[in-house]
Structure 1
């Protein structure tokens, strides 16, 4: 079968023929419907080294946002029917700490000593015609369209986790939420905020087309420039927003999120650009929380899938056949995508 393989550090992935996997005990074989391209993949093949990328040691098949149809099951697996559609929960923890047994493998207590981070991040993922996954990691899609659902496994789960944790700051009337960075995660974050809160949503980005997409979803947009913070605070009654979500993570975007937020607010850094945050008792709003998140729990992915089935959230996707998977990654690297790139291995079948 064809697969997109990360073969060596600091090396662009390749498409190659590999052996089709076989489901072992406790596993399920999926015929892949869609596999999303994510900036985390780019960080792995462009930036990781043998010293920094010990949990993403090549070679392995990329793809940590995956949906597919049941093809076969391994020994001891029951309750699955061939052809049924599922999402794959990506994080892979130790499996036995209290976080893992609660379905929070994204916060595994033994993460530092695990040999992989996730399916598609350290062990074979879904950027292939077929993949195997632990049966417990499958989340049913029912009759919902599976190909476009692939990005839900990260691009929706991560903002959902961040927003759900911030809900105490957004409960009640007259609340304001800020979304910084209107890529795949930021666009879905607006939909999730609309569904879960009554907050006025302010969104900012450097790309006019991304801001136009956000406006179509009901957000008030502000260009990312030297007047950004002043304009956001003006919209938010002059006091600032109650919750800010930074989907970029550069030092300037973190600073903008902090400066745009009100007293007793929450600033969540979601993007992994590696920016440093600063704090000053005299200039930062009092009682302002600053936190970070990573992915989400298995339970939360079930909730995300339910919202998708109900039509509450809809990922905006750009589809690529397997033979063009590397073009999808190159467009992601070059900043040419306005939608989430999804590779469709069986396109046209």
Structure 2
């Protein structure tokens, strides 16, 4: 079968012919419906140095946002419907620690001993015609479109987890939420905030087309650059926002978030930019402002995200590519020319 393979650090991935996988005990083989191309993939093959994270060492098939139809099941698997559409929860922990048993494989207590981080993150992922996943990681999609659902596994789950933890700061009237970075995650974050809160949503980005999309979703937009923080604080009446979500995660955007934050607010770093530090100082930080980072989410939360998708509360902005054109999608990610999410469709028309 064809697959997009991470073959080396600082090396563009390759489209290769590999053996079709077979599900082992407790596993399920899916015919891939859609696989989202994520900036995290670009970080792995384009930015990571050897030794930074051995769990991502090549070779493996990329793709940690995957949906598909059940082709066959391994020994001991029950309750999985043949031919039905499922979404794959990407993180794979040890399965037995406290974090994993509550469905939070992202914070597996034995992560340092694992040879991989998840499906498409060390284990072979969904940028292929077929993929194998643990049965416990499958979330049913019912009759919902599985292709457009693929980005839910990360691009929706990650902001949903971050927003859910910040909801106490957004309960009540007159609240303000700030979204920094309007790529695949940021645009879905605007939709989640709209569905779950009554807050005024302020969205900011350097791209006019991204801000136009956010405005369609109900956000008030502020362009990046000079006067950005002053404009954000003006919208809030000078008090600052109650919760901010940084989907870029570089020093400059964290600084913007913190300068825009109000007292007793929460600033969540979601993006993994890691390009420059943020300098904290007591007298330039709002009192009791929380600065935290989050990573992905739980399998239970992915069920909730799918429920929102089925209810029409989340609609990922998707550009479809064939598997033969998957490398073009990754190049567009590298070049920064993709709006929303690129989704690879291995079977059928795009």
Name the TM-score, length of structure 1 as normaliser. Answer: 0.99
Q: Distance in 1 between matches of 2:238 and 2:13?
A: 48
Structure-to-structure mapping, 1:1-349, within 5 angstroms: 1-274=1-274, 275-348=276-349
Deviation of the 1:76 alpha carbon: 0.8
Deviation of the 1:114 alpha carbon:
1.4
> How far off is 1:173 after superposition?
0.3
* RMSD of aligned alpha carbons: 0.9
Deviates more, 1:47-56 or 1:118-127: 47-56
SS at match of 1:329: helix
Structure 1: where are the runs of 5+ without partners?
Answer: none
Give a deviation string over 1:221-245, Cα, whole Å, max 9, x none: 0000120000000001110000000
Give deviations 1:241-300, integer Å, cap 9, x for gaps: 000000001101000000001000000000100142222111110000000000000110
Alpha-carbon offset, residue 79 of structure 1: 1.3
Q: Distance in 2 between matches of 1:206 and 1:50?
A: 32
> What SS does structure 1 have at the residue aligned with 2:28?
strand
For this pair of structures, how many residues does the alignment match? 349
Any runs of at least 4 consecutive aligned residues in structure 1 with deviations exceeding 4 A, and if so which? none
Is the Cα contact below 8 Å between 1:60 and 1:122 reproduced in 2? yes
The 1-side partners of 2:244 and 2:50 are apart by 35
Structure 2 contact 187–340 (Cα < 8 Å) conserved: no
User: 1:92 Cα deviation (Å)?
Assistant: 1.1
TM-score after normalising by structure 2: 0.98
* Separation in 1, partners of 2:165, 2:278: 20
Please list the CA deviations of residues 160-218 of structure 1 after superposition, one character each: whole Å capped at 9, or x if unmatched.
Answer: 00000000000000000000000000000000000000000000000000000000000
Q: State the distance in 1 between where 2:61 and 2:48 align.
A: 16
Structure 1, residues 140-168: CA drift from partner, whole Å, max 9, x if none?
Answer: 11111000000000000000000000000
> Which runs of no fewer than 5 residues in structure 2 stay unpaired?
none
